[in-house]
Amino acid sequence: MSINRSISLNKTNYLSQLSKDFLLGNDIGIFNPSVSQYSQLLEKAEQKAFDPHKRQGLVDALLRQYKSDGIELNEESAVYQNIVSLKDSNCYTITTGQQIHIFLGPLFFLHKINSLLGHVKNLKMHSQNVKVVPVFWMATEDHDLDEINYVNLYGEKFQWNANAGNAVGRIACDGLQNLINDLESRADKTVENKQLFTIFREHYTNEKSLASATRSLLNALFENQGLIIINPDDTYFKQQFAPVAKQEIENKILFNTYNAATKRLKQKGYKPKVNAQEINYFWFDKSLRLKINSKNGYKLNNSDQSEWSITQLTLNSEQLSPNVLARPLYQELILPNIAYIGGSAEIDYWLPLQDAFNDLGIQFPALLLRDSALYLTPKNLETIEKTGLKWEHLFLSDHELSEIYSALQNHTSTNLKGHLKIILEAAETINHTLSQNELNSAEGIKILGELQKSAHKLSKLLTDKDLSQQKADLKMGKVFKIKQRFFETKQERQEFSLSYPQLIANYNGRGKDLEAEMQVHIL
């Protein structure tokens, strides 16, 4: 695999407007915590207070989790050394997290991990006094099984039919061995695929939970890079979080601060997709994860359980489970973390959390956007470049792409649109002059407005005609098909890691600065 080149992710259609403005350091209506230099992450480390007892407890808990999952880390292991180094006062974490999709999920699952490893490697080169280690936060407490129980291979869906309702990390891997057989019988008979399915069989065994299987699989793939994998569904961690959860629930801190922040974002024209609830927690009740409501005391949805007090909730903290908004508070409380790496949607829902962090006395981490990648064949790239276009042009709209191609070909319509542009610019100048002196008249403005409308209409007509002809053209038609398949549908979300066995655990690094990248890989 080779990297052709990369561009800023801000130049693609992968980001929300809020994420773009955050990255650019623009005014977003609330405090913009954007960072642009690794030195700013080191400043986060200097400001991060993390108790030595919590460090020792974190190390003990991680080693216990690995041992419980049947992973014996020897002292030479990069993972073991990273875990033990967390006892040191100058050691901090950079974290990314994701739902634990079966078989490594969509491609972006690996993009997150590779971004994390790249930033840790880069940051190590910027300081001899601060050590940073990579942490992958498994979203084991999520109960949305339908989001993680399937993969697509060659356009065909393969689904794991496990019982829903419980935290997905607690579900036994029963049935996944049969699904591996089905996938292998469908997959191409290549050496890479044979190795991949052998690895899956080794880790997705019936006696393991999905959390345990995911940890052992990721450790097998990324142990050499020192990736620490944490399971937050842990009694020790929950006990640490209980006092914060109690304070947050009693004072409705998330509900008040988060919704106030999203209101300010809306006033700036953004469209937040997450709202805080009065109670942002679930409860583990036998084999179910149930929403807690507070209409008449604290009760569980879909349960006949009696009302509870806040003290009863937090005394049984191992059964308390944060939702998507409370989880960042939990994460930053139990880790000496200085940065979180996420996708555009994650950046959007983290930003309004800042006041809740402040009110609860928890340091807000730096937010870094993960890298993305496209995987094209040499034939795909050749098809694009034969037209004179560059692969990054395919992130533009169809009309924009059509105009660039027309200009490259020096089409007559391009010259006509150039003339129309001159006419429109002249009309704008005339309009300004009319409005500034006695020549201003309703009739003149009306005639000028009709001219502008006609020029715009003619320009659009020429653009639409060009686009229609290009899509019907043999050469450009293929380019538009490549655009639709790989660029518009966001390949990293539609295609799954197991379709690219040669990429798995193939860490290739990233750029040397904090700017998120879109890389193109030619396979």
DSSP string for residues in 348-363: HHHGGGHHHHHHHT-P
Give yes or no for residue 455 having a pLDDT over 80.
no
Same domain, residue pair 217 and 248: no
Same domain, residue pair 483 and 351: no
pLDDT at 514: 83
The pLDDT tens digits for 135-183 are 999 999 999 999 999 999 998 999 999 988 889 999 999 999 999 999 9
Q: Rounded to whole angstroms, how far apart are CA atoms 241 and 280?
A: 14
Same domain, residue pair 205 and 262: no
- 302, 322, 342 - which closes a domain: 322
**If you average pLDDT over residues 401-415, what whole number do you get?**
72
pLDDT at 344: 95
Give yes or no for residue 462 having a pLDDT over 70.
no
Give the CA diameter of the chain: 88
**The dihedral of CA 442, 444, 447, 450: what is its sign?**
negative
Matching residue, tokens 């050691």 = 91
Mutual angle of helices 235-251 and 52-68, in 10-degree steps = 120
- 3-state SS class at 135: strand
pLDDT at 296: 60
pLDDT at 470: 73
Same domain, residue pair 183 and 242: no
Is 333 part of a structural domain of the chain?
Answer: yes
- Mean pLDDT over the full length of the chain: 87
Q: Rounded to whole angstroms, how far apart are CA atoms 402 and 45?
A: 48
Same domain, residue pair 199 and 295: no
Give yes or no for residue 440 having a pLDDT over 60.
no
Give yes or no for residue 414 having a pLDDT over 70.
no
In the structure, how many helices (H) and strands (E) does the chain have?
A: 20, 14
pLDDT at 302: 64
Give yes or no for residue 418 having a pLDDT over 70.
no
Of 23-32, 246-255, 292-301, 482-491, give the lowest mean pLDDT range. 292-301
Is 212 part of a structural domain of the chain?
Answer: yes
Same domain, residue pair 157 and 291: no
Is 371 part of a structural domain of the chain?
Answer: yes
Q: Could you list the residue range(s) of the whole structural domain that residue 185 is in? A: 2-30+50-237+326-375+502-522
Is 185 part of a structural domain of the chain?
Answer: yes
The pLDDT tens digits for 274-331 are 999 999 999 888 788 888 887 666 777 766 666 777 887 778 888 899 999 999 999 9
Helix, strand, coil distribution of the chain in percent, nearest 5 = 55, 15, 30
Of residues 521 and 302, more confidently modeled? 521
Same domain, residue pair 358 and 274: no
Same domain, residue pair 195 and 242: no
* Percentage of the chain exceeding pLDDT 90: 61
pLDDT at 131: 94
Is 380 part of a structural domain of the chain?
Answer: no
pLDDT at 447: 63
Of residues 210 and 513, more confidently modeled? 210
pLDDT grade for 521, boundaries at 50, 70 and 90 = confident
Output the CA torsion 336→342→346→347 (10° steps).
80
Could you write out the three-class secondary structure of 211-255? Answer: HHHHHHHHHHHHHHHCCEEECCCCHHHHHHHHHHHHHHHHHCHHH
Of residues 322 and 516, more confidently modeled? 322
Output the CA torsion 406→409→415→420 (10° steps).
10
pLDDT at 316: 83
Q: Rounded to whole angstroms, how far apart are CA atoms 402 and 389?
A: 10
pLDDT at 337: 97
Is 148 part of a structural domain of the chain?
Answer: yes
Same domain, residue pair 64 and 207: yes
- 3-state SS class at 78: helix
Which strands sit side by side in the sheet containing 91-98, from one edge to the other?
A: 228-230, 131-138, 91-98, 337-342, 366-369
Of residues 502 and 107, more confidently modeled? 107
Q: Rounded to whole angstroms, how far apart are CA atoms 522 and 516?
A: 20
**If you average pLDDT over residues 96-113, what whole number do you get?**
95
Give yes or no for residue 505 having a pLDDT over 80.
no
Helix or strand holding residue 290 (H, E): strand 288-293
Same domain, residue pair 123 and 190: yes
- Report how many domains make up the chain: 3
Is 45 part of a structural domain of the chain?
Answer: no
pLDDT at 85: 97
Same domain, residue pair 137 and 265: no
What's CA 318's distance to the chain center, in Å? 28
pLDDT at 305: 64
Matching residue, tokens 């919590």 = 54
Residue type, 411: H
Of residues 303 and 18, more confidently modeled? 18
Is 41 part of a structural domain of the chain?
Answer: no
Same domain, residue pair 338 and 416: no
- CA proximity to 322, closest of 340, 311, 334: 334
pLDDT at 295: 66
pLDDT at 518: 85
Name beta bridge partners: 92.
Answer: 132
Give yes or no for residue 239 having a pLDDT over 80.
yes
